[in-house]
Amino acid sequence: MIMTNKKWAVKRITVNLAAQEAEKLEQYCQQTGRPATDVIRELIRGLSIAEETKEVSR
């Protein structure tokens, strides 16, 4: 059985940010003391998506 210590590492992504976006993220992280990964993860969790409608064939 293979055990890993990676609690969150399910999928790694790269995000391209404009200079102003990156600066804003860095400033926010400095002000709050939170890592960028946590901030971005929280923002993603807050996204709303339309529920998929499933038709049941009868």
56, pLDDT greater than 60: no
Three-class SS state of 18: coil
Average pLDDT, the chain: 84
Nearest-CA neighbor of 22 among 10, 9, 8, 40? 40
44, pLDDT greater than 70: yes
Q: Which pLDDT does position 4 carry in this prediction?
A: 54
**Reported pTM:** 0.67
Give the integer Cα–Cα distance in Å for 32 and 25.
Answer: 11
